[in-house]
Amino acid sequence: MNSKNVEDQIVENYQKDEKMMVLVFTQWCVNNNLDPEDLYTRAYPTQTKNHTLKEAIDLTVPKEEAGDIADETLLGVLSLFGNDDLAFVVTEEIDKLKKRRAETK
């Protein structure tokens, strides 16, 4: 395999992994009754339309059909891709969710 093919393979793998990260984010949002587009826009207000986010939203399933995604798992995945702004917004939402859960107990 020549260096061009290796580069292409690396880029392709990164893009697949990035799509998986966005899917984990969108499914976590659905599982927690949150709007992924709203959270994403809060994190990245200058990015109006994100094709990968739209694709991931289309692939999410109802929370009743989805497996749980731990908060720490999502934050770890976001960290791997350097999505610090989105991780900050997610952390804010996690705190709100924990407060709501504590209030209902």
Domain limits for position 16: 3-103
* C-beta separation of 68 from 31 below 8 A: yes
Q: Give tens-digit pLDDT for 12-55.
A: 877 888 899 999 999 999 999 999 999 999 999 998 788 999 99
Q: Whole-angstrom Cα distance, residue 95 to residue 100?
A: 9
Distance CA 14, CA 37 (A): 22
**What is the count of structural domains for the chain?**
1
Calculate mean pLDDT across residues 51-64: 95
Alpha helices in the chain (DSSP H): 3-31, 36-43, 51-59, 71-80, 84-103
Q: Among 55, 48, 64, 65, which residue's Cα sits nearest to residue 26?
A: 55
Q: What's the pTM?
A: 0.88
Distance CA 87, CA 61 (A): 22
pLDDT reported for residue 13 = 79
Written as six digits, the tokens of 13 are 């793998």
pLDDT tens profile 86-101: 999 999 999 999 999 8
Q: What is the C-alpha to C-alpha distance for residues 20 and 74, in angstroms, rounded to an integer?
A: 11
